[in-house]
C-alpha cells in the first residue's frame, strides 16, 4: 500500500510539473538542492538531504512590486545515522525520510539588489519514513507514513535570464520534526 501511495504522489508531482511546462516563459521553474538536516530524534548526528522541485508562478499580486505567488511540488530524501543507547546496549540507528510536498511560495523582489528575491512558503507534506536499529540479536526495522506541514523561507538570485541559485530553510512539522537548510541551483523557462 505504501508503494502505491508513493507512486501516486510522484505521479501527481510529475503531472503538475508537466502541465506547468506549458506556461509562458519565465513562469515555470525546476530546482535541485542539497543540504543539512537536523536529527528527528535526540541521539543522532546532523544528517544530509536532497531536494528536487518545480513550480508555476500563477499570480502576480502587484504590478508595481512584481511580487508573485507560485504553486509548487517537491520531493526529497533525508538521511541520518547515530547511536541508540538503551536497555544496556549501544547500537547503530539509521533513519531516512522521503518527503513529498505540495504548497505555495510567495516571492518578493528586493529592489536594492537587482535579480534578488526572497520568499516564504508553506506546504502539506506526506513523508515516507524508515528506521533501522541494530541490536545484539540482529537488525530491527520499521516503516511508516506521516502527514504534516512545512513552513519555510529562502532567497533566490537570478544569474541570467534562465538560471538561478537559491538558499532555503524549512521546518518539517511532522511526527519526529526536523529542520533543513539547503542550497541549490535552478532553471526557469
Concatenate the DSSP letters of all residues of the chain into one string. Answer: -HHHHHHHHHHHHHHHHHHHTTSPTTSEEEEEEEEEE--SSSSB--EEEEEEEEEEEEEEEETTTTEEEEEEEEEEEEEEEEEEEETTEEEEEEEEEEEEEEEEEEEEE-TTSTTEEEEEEEEEEEEEEEEEEEETTEEEEEEEEEEEEEEEEEEEEESSSSEEEEEEEEEEBSSS-EEEEEEEEEEE-
pLDDT in tens, 103-148: 999 999 998 999 999 999 999 999 999 988 877 778 888 999 999 9
Q: Which of 160, 163, 62 is nearest to 108 (CA)?
A: 62
CATH number reported for the structural domain that contains residue 45 in this entry: 2.40.160.20
- Write out the residue range of the structural domain in which residue 116 sits: 2-188
pLDDT in the model for residue 66: 80
The sign one gets for the Cα dihedral 28, 69, 120, 130 is: negative
Model-wide pTM > 0.85: no
Q: How many domains does the chain have?
A: 1
Q: What is the pLDDT of residues 79-102, one digit of tens each?
A: 988 776 665 666 778 889 999 999
Amino acid at each position: 500500500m505504501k508503494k502505491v501511495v508513493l507512486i501516486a504522489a510522484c505521479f501527481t508531482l510529475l503531472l503538475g510539473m508537466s502541465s506547468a511546462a506549458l506556461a509562458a516563459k519565465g513562469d515555470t521553474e525546476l530546482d535541485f538542492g542539497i543540504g543539512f538536516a537536523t536529527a528527528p530524534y535526540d541521539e543522532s548526528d546532523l544528517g544530509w538531504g536532497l531536494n528536487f522541485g518545480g513550480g508555476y508562478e500563477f499570480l502576480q499580486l502587484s504590478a508595481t512590486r512584481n511580487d508573485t505567488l507560485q504553486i509548487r511540488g517537491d520531493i526529497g530524501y533525508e538521511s541520518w545515522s547515530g547511536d541508540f543507547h538503551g536497555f544496556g546496549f549501544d547500537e547503530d540507528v539509521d533513519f531516512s525520510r522521503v518527503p513529498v510536498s505540495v504548497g505555495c511560495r510567495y516571492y518578493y523582489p528586493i529592489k536594492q539588489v537587482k535579480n534578488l528575491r526572497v520568499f516564504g512558503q508553506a506546504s502539506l507534506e506526506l513523508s515516507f519514513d524508515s528506521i533501522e536499529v541494530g541490536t545484539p540479536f540482529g537488525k530491527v526495522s520499521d516503516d511508516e507514513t506521516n502527514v504534516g506541514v512545512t513552513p519555510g523561507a529562502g532567497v533566490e538570485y537570478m544569474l541570467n535570464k534562465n538560471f538561478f541559485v537559491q538558499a532555503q530553510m524549512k521546518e518539517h512539522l511532522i511526527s519526529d520534526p526536523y529542520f533543513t537548510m539547503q542550497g541549490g541551483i535552478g532553471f526557469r523557462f
